Structure 1
Amino acid sequence: MSVQISKEITEQVVLITGGARGLGACLVRAFAGQGAKVVINYLNSEAAAFALAAEFPEQAIAIRADVCDAQAVAAMFAQAAKHFEAPISTVVNNALPNFQFNGDARPHADTLTWEHLQHQMEGIVRGALNTTQAALPGMEQSGFGRIINIGTNLFQNPVVPYHDYTAAKAALLSFTRTLSHDLGPKGVTVNMISGGLLRTTDASAATPEAVFDLIAQSTPLRRVTSPAEFADAALFFASPWSRAVTGQNLVVDGGLVKN
């Protein structure tokens, strides 16, 4: 097998899980804006997904699938490959189980349950496992693949008790690193992009304004990163410019957290 080190973004078929709203929609627009073909995965946001796909009628398709369901994910990959006459080459694992970034409303140590943790692990880690396994046959056939996992800076700076969410994202970082070692010989890179609070997504809409202001004052850039700015960083990991980068975690939060 001949391993391809890189492909231009215009040559890629990119899956964005949870792509209909919030950060996912910004990721879709970032990749489509650079000429990629994009699969907009959604679970409940059908109207938003199809409206977004209509913005890029020649480049985008909206497909419903629960990323926790391996059979549904496999069917999504098959549908996308048939539609674009090419397999998915790039996976952005962005889908997030139901969650609101409001520290006052999250369970603390005395009320946290295993069900809270399991819910996040299922959606974040199991979802990434399912999409990775569904993507591998096409990536191996072409000798090229990009897996980009969406993380958080909270496991480096756990200032808010998002125990369940943070634990699942930390597990996803470990999975990113072990996958990078396993899949590198196949021409597949696996990386993570970790943000802080983004201003503003559906998940962060419940965050008090004072929290946004505090974060902005704490960053070197004196502002909170936007979803569109965060999405731009994903283009780097998909592009030829990152052909020698794998197993890495890039923090995109305006400099709040230093690696």
Structure 2
Amino acid sequence: MSNSFNLNQQLVLVTGGARGLGEQLVRAYLREGANVVINYLTSADAANKLVAEAPDQAFAIQADVSDQAAVNAMFAKAREHFGCPVTTVVNNALPKFSFNGDARPNADQLSWQHIHQQLEGVVGGALYTTQAALPGMREVGFGRIINIGTNLFQNPVVPYHDYTAGKAALLSLTRTLSNDLGPDNITVNMVSGGLLRTTDASASTPEEVFDYIAASTPLRRVTTPAEFADATLFFASPWSRSVTGQNLVVDGGLVKG
């Protein structure tokens, strides 16, 4: 078995793939010739519209990634539809969240329920998709798991305590899983962005925040979802076959490492 597959040989599953960043992730992998499973929770119309653009390559499946049984069923449906196991998982799904610092709970208001909701969706979801993918990845001797993170670890400028805690835990899981799964030729990496212009989640972000970030960034602009999505392709490609347990920050140079 080859230790790497070209993108056009891969079956990629993108969680939360119907809207926002997820849509751009789906488009990036479709553009490179991969077959793509578009996971969605409530955005059926958007998911089906994407499938209609590439009916031979794309397939939409509804599942709550925090529900292990639903995730397992989704992987079975994907394999049945495409006739092969999922080789690549992009963990993008985000529990309901609005990127508006003024509306987020501060230190006095933060509850464990806020944090638990993010841990359940972000970390639980990634754990369940990884576990569901392992049998098929081991079968073909190849696997790529790409987790979506945030640059707020390094630059905690807004009180997204719950979101950042969930993503930080996901980074830890990324690194421990990379060590555990390396012998199976399965790499596990993270790609972390800052505020993206514009997704549903960032729609409530004030314009002056975008302007401030652009002015503070070496590229003098805010990264777009399409630009961010392209960077994830590296971790699925043969070029990254010796890279695992890493966190690549894609935010126009705002945060270093």
187, 190, 193: which one aligns with 2:191: 193
Q: Which runs of 5+ in 2 are unaligned?
A: none
1:1-259 pair list within 5 angstroms: 4-259=2-257
RMSD of aligned alpha carbons? 0.5
C-alpha deviation, 1:59, in angstroms: 0.0
Unmatched runs of 5 consecutive residues or more in structure 1: none
Q: Distance in 2 between matches of 1:114 and 1:5?
A: 42
Q: CA deviation at 1:5?
A: 1.8
Distance in 1 (CA, whole Å) between partners of 2:230 and 2:173 is: 23
Q: CA deviation at 1:86?
A: 0.5
Distance 1:217 1:55 in 2: 37
Counterpart CA distance in 2 for 1:121 and 1:54 is: 33
Cα distance, 1:113 vs. partner? 0.3
Aligned equivalents of 2:162, 2:3: Cα separation in 1? 36
- Give the secondary-structure state (helix, strand or coil) at the position aligned to 2:188: strand
Letter in 2 for 1:100: S
Q: 1:62 is paired with a residue of what secondary structure? A: strand
Give the TM-score, by structure 1 length: 0.99
What is the aligned length? 257
SS at match of 1:233: helix
Equivalents in 1 of 2:167, 2:63: separation in Å?
21
Give the Cα–Cα distance (whole angstroms) in 2 for the partners of residues 101 and 5 of structure 1.
Answer: 39
**Partner Cα separation in structure 1 for residue 34 and residue 11 of structure 2:** 6
State the AA in 1 paired with 2:90. V
Q: 1: CA distance between counterparts of 2:131 and 2:64?
A: 15
Structure-2 separation of matches of 1:23 and 1:236: 17
Counterpart code for 1:123:
G
Work out the CA distance in 1 between the residues paired with 2:243 and 2:29: 19
Instruction: Give the match's secondary structure for 1:63.
Output: strand
TM-score w.r.t. length of structure 2 = 0.99
